[in-house]
């Protein structure tokens, strides 16, 4: 048969900086030119290149003496520590974060980041199952010191880039907090904690979802009338107070901060978002009863 074997060669004249740009090709980046840091500390050469995108994926590749350290190691730990510290220090000094604000977590700061860390060590020690983890503790110190000094100076000299990085981390923090609230709502036990429902749920007595109905009514006055005329075996009443939040354009943190919406999530029992499971519905029929006005 015809020989179809071939060789692909990847060469980046601009080194890891050009490699980062290649990895982000086709994505929307927060700033055009990747940040590049090159320094030497105690005989260890350190190179770092990073760039942020508007996405949520974090890509972090590390190399030691040109060997791809898939399992990370001390140089990766040093980079993560320095990045978190420097960004938080800059955020507070530039007043993007107030004195009362907590620091951003490393995970939030790294969201949307593409970075490559490369070190040249005179005596590298590789660990792990496949020997792709750098074990030299001095590599951690070298990357931390070399990167933090240069990166701190870069942020002070490029405040627009610094602000974008901090604001990206703030967005990640808000999304993470909203997701945590969602998990708290969806992971409640099937046995409903009525005390936590300010909507004053009047539950039905049957545990069979197929015959259970939930009437969502507007206000306590309507709820009182509905309770008097219901069948206790199959019909539950949940009064909702006030004009409920329009969730179509609301952020996740605003949605989950709304007590009435959280009451609905908990009453229905199906979960929310990625954890939604219709098979866990406590009622197979929902009836919405509202007034014929703007609030309704």
The domain boundary residue, chosen from 181, 211, 244: 181
pLDDT at 109: 96
Q: Is the confidence at residue 90, as pLDDT, over 80?
A: yes
**What pLDDT sits at residue 183?**
65
Does some domain include residue 64? Answer: yes
The mean per-residue pLDDT over the stretch 81-95 comes to: 96
Choosing from 33, 101, 184, 295, which is the catalytic residue?
A: 295
264 and 139 in a common domain:
no
Is 10 among the domain residues?
A: no
At residue 293, does pLDDT exceed 80?
Answer: no
Residue 114 has pLDDT above 60, yes or no: yes
Residue 245's CATH number: 3.40.50.670
Looking at the fold, whether 167 and 275 belong to one and the same domain comes out as: no
**Are 220 and 114 part of one and the same domain?**
no
Both 173 and 212 in one domain: the answer is no
- Does the annotation count 293 as an active-site position? yes
Single residue among 134, 154, 181 that ends a domain in this structure: 181
Q: Are both 199 and 146 inside the same structural domain?
A: no
Residue 133: inside a domain: yes
Same domain, 63 and 199: no
Task: For residue 11, name the pLDDT band (cuts at 50, 70, 90).
Answer: confident
Number of domains comprising the chain: 2
Region 224-235: what's the mean pLDDT? Answer: 86
The answer to whether residue 73 scores a pLDDT higher than 90 is: yes
At 126, the pLDDT band (50, 70, 90 cuts) reads: very high
Active site residue 218: yes
Do 142 and 55 have their domain in common?
A: yes
The predicted model gives 217-221 an average pLDDT of: 77
Report whether pLDDT(295) > 70. Answer: no
Asked if residue 32 and residue 158 are part of one domain, the reply reads yes
Q: Which of 152, 181, 210 represents a domain boundary (last residue)?
A: 181
**Does pLDDT of 220 surpass 90?**
no
Q: Are residues 170 and 247 in the same domain?
A: no
Whether the pLDDT of residue 199 is over 60: the answer is no
Residues 278 and 150 in one domain: no
Residue 295 lies in a domain: no
Q: Where is pLDDT greater, at 284 or 289? A: 284
For residue 211, being part of any structural domain is answered with yes
Domain CATH code at residue 162: 3.30.230.10
Q: Give residue 198's pLDDT band: very low, low, confident or very high (50, 70, 90).
A: very low
45 is catalytic: no
Q: Based on the domain organization, do 42 and 170 belong to the same domain? A: yes
Q: 80 or 175: which carries more pLDDT confidence?
A: 80
Range of the domain at 150: 15-181
108, 173, 218, 260: the active-site residue: 218
Same domain, 47 and 150: yes
Q: Report, as an integer, the average pLDDT of 246-274.
A: 79
In a domain, 263, yes or no: yes
The DSSP annotation for the chain comes to: ------------TTHHHHHHHHHTTTSPBSSSSPEEEEEEETTEEEEEEEEEBSSS--EEEEEETTEE-TT-BHHHHHHHHHHHHHHHHHHHHTTSS-TTSPPPPHHHHHTTEEEEEEEE-SS--EETTTT-EE--HHHHHHHHHHHHHHHHHHHHH-HHHHHHHHHHHHHHHHHHHHHHHHHHHHTS-SS--GGG-TT--B--S---GGG-EEEEEEHHHHHHHHHHHS-TTTEEEEEE-SS----SS--HHHHHH-HHHHHHHHHH-S--GGG--GGG-S-SEEEEE--SSS--
Domain assignment present for residue 6? The answer is: no
Determine whether 248 is an active site residue: no
CB 114 within 8 A of CB 59: yes
Is residue 9 assigned to a domain? Answer: no
In this predicted structure, the answer to whether residue 157 has a pLDDT above a threshold of 90 is: yes
């Amino acid at each position: 048969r015809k020989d179809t074997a071939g060789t692909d060669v990847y060469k980046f004249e601009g080194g890891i900086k050009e490699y980062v740009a290649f990895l982000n090709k086709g994505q929307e980046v927060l700033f055009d030119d990747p940040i590049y840091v090159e320094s030497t500390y105690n005989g260890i050469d350190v190179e770092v290149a990073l760039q942020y995108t508007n996405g949520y994926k974090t890509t972090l590749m590390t190399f030691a003496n040109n060997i791809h350290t898939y399992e990370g190691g001390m140089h990766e730990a040093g980079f993560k520590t320095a990045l978190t510290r420097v960004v938080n220090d800059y955020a507070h000094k530039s007043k993007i974060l107030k004195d009362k604000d907590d620091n951003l977590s490393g995970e939030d700061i790294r969201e949307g980041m593409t970075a490559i860390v490369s070190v040249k060590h005179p005596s590298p020690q590789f660990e792990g199952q496949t020997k792709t983890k750098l074990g030299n503790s001095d590599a951690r110190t070298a990357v931390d010191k070399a990167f933090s000094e240069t990166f701190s100076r870069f942020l002070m000299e490029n405040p627009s880039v610094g602000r974008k990085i901090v604001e990206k981390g703030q967005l990640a923090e808000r999304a993470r907090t909203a997701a945590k609230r969602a998990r708290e709502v969806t992971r409640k036990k099937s046995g409903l904690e009525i005390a936590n429902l300010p909507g004053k749920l009047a539950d039905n007595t049957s545990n069979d979802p197929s015959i259970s109905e939930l009437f969502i009514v507007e206000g306590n006055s309507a709820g009182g009338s509905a309770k008097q005329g219901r069948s206790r075996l199959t019909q539950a009443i949940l009064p909702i107070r006030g004009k409920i939040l329009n969730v179509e354009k609301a952020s996740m943190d605003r949605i989950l901060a709304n007590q009435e919406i959280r009451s609905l999530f908990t009453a229905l029992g199906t979960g929310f978002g990625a954890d939604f499971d219709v098979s866990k519905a406590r009622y197979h029929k929902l009836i919405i009863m509202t007034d014929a006005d703007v609030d309704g």
